[in-house]
A = this chain, B = another copy of it.
């Protein structure tokens, strides 16, 4: 059974993870500085979140000197996909379509991504369902 999917992220945890994912890895001080500016969080708040994220298995902490270097255990995509899956589970009836339309409208997509999605839809077309 292995460890499989870690616990889902709470909103405040997403914010921390998002920062660490962007950096690749970060020291507490970086996260603290960012969170102070972006969310007006006190250092203690960030420390607590970092610890919880390590406990939950989302971050790996490697000792460096007197402190830790935090890095994501997995890339952002799997977590996003799991969140997306649970979103889809909530889509009643035939709302998956309108929901996708909404998402596409709201997304900033590059030309390549648009092409990829089009290709995917074309492949789906024949054997829809």
Contact = CB atoms under 8 A, between A and B. Distances in A.
A31 B120 CA distance: 38
A81 B99 contact: yes
A109 B88 contact: no
A11 B89 CA distance: 11
Chain A contact residues: helix, strand, loop or mixed: helix
Interface stretch (A41-49, A61-69, A90-98): A90-98
A77 interface: yes
Give the size range of A's interface with the partner. 35 or more
Nearest to A124: B114
A22 B92 CA distance: 7
Contacts of A81: 99, 102
Interface of A: 11, 14, 18, 21-22, 76-77, 79-81, 83-88, 90-114, 116-118, 120-122, 124-125, 128-129
